[in-house]
Amino acid sequence: MPALFVAGALLLACSGAHAAPKTDVIILKNGDRITGEIKGLERGILRLSTDAAGTLSIEWPEVARIETKQYLEVEQLDGDRSYGHASRPAEPGSVVLGTDDDASATPQAPLALDDIVRITPLSEGRWIDHIDGHASIGLSAASANDNRQVTLSGDMTYRAPERSWTVTYEGARTESANNPVSDRQDVDGIYRWLRPERWFWAATAGFTSNDELDLNLRSLAGVGRGRYWVQDANRAFGTIGGLVFTREHYDARGRQESFEALLQFQYEYFRFQDPEVDLSLELNLFPSLTVSGRLRSELTAKARYELVKDLYFELSYIRSQDNKPVSEDAAQNDWSLNSSLGYKF
């Protein structure tokens, strides 16, 4: 149980931000000018930190021009990425990136704002300044059998030129008067090396324990190749295919090692009108290459509904399934449906 709160504390600790000079300028289509610090563009929302009004969320279609001396990574609809400072003159509806502050340097071709789906500042600063994430906690209790459950989840994503990594955590503890304590914990990490046309190479690792499946610890590591097939202001759909090595420790049968194929499908939908809604679905399939006919699957579905700025209500469904568990006494599947309160940083 302490591991749940340690993981949550680490995630929440990353919410502190390093304050950079707020000298970026956003010019809206109605002529308004807003000065602040660009924090990034994702899912149709440009986040701008200001001194007077905190962090603003500006709908990207309302932006006519941006001016900043920050070094940016700009990703377009076709997956191409450009780098530079957006401090050069540009026509409304476009941005021109320069390689440095030297006015004599040859600028890149203008980029249409309508074709831009993501902007990530890569200026100098602490590595923690390039992290975004979520942390949520859920509590439930019932008088029947004195049932109590605590859930904790979180994720962190770090972005840098041509690479990114994401770490996720899901944990739950269930206690009742007539049954033993049941724990489920899962930690996963993935590193992506971004390539042209929305392709990427991936390296992944994970650790899982689940009392319902009699699983003391499953550890895996592997590599794969993936692509984002759809990526715009409201949607993202990506897949990964690869190979993983798995080591499992069960209560009754000891240790087993195997190779598995990896097939991952991930879909996200985001609505940026108030209230914001964020839907995500991830399915991982692991056909065994060592045990004939064995197939494991991990499904995670989440819906987040913003209550007030950066605070949201979350409903999540998590299902683990194994058609040939190593332990004969182990259940073939375990699922949970949880509600929680979360914070976005």
Question: What is the end-to-end Cα distance of the chain in Å, rounded?
Answer: 24
Are the C-beta atoms of residues 207 and 218 closer than 8 Å to each other?
Answer: yes
Please check whether residues 114 and 135 belong to one and the same domain. Answer: no
| Structural domain for 262, as ranges | 130-344
Please check whether residues 199 and 76 belong to one and the same domain. Answer: no
In sequence order, what are the beta bridge partners of 168? 155, 188
Q: What CATH number is given to the structural domain containing 93?
A: 2.30.30
Question: Higher pLDDT residue, 91 or 286?
Answer: 286
Please check whether residues 64 and 137 belong to one and the same domain. Answer: no
33 falls within a domain: yes
Question: Higher pLDDT residue, 117 or 15?
Answer: 117
For 30, the 3-state DSSP assignment is coil
Question: Higher pLDDT residue, 293 or 83?
Answer: 293
Of the candidates 170, 159, 187, the residue with the CA atom closest to the CA atom of residue 335: 170
Please check whether residues 209 and 151 belong to one and the same domain. Answer: yes
For 97, the 3-state DSSP assignment is coil
Q: What pTM was estimated for this model as a whole?
A: 0.79
Which pLDDT does position 315 carry in this prediction?
A: 93
Question: Higher pLDDT residue, 53 or 26?
Answer: 26
Q: Cα 103 to the chain's mean position, in Å?
A: 37
Q: What angle do CA 72, 74, 75 make, to 5 degrees?
A: 155
Query: Average pLDDT of 205-217?
Result: 91
Please check whether residues 102 and 173 belong to one and the same domain. Answer: no
pLDDT digits (tens, 9 = 90+) for 131-187: 888 999 998 765 556 678 899 999 999 887 788 999 999 999 988 877 788 899 999
Q: What is the DSSP string of 138-153?
A: EEEEETGGGEEEEEEE
The mean predicted confidence, pLDDT, of the chain is 85
Query: Average pLDDT of 31-52?
Result: 88
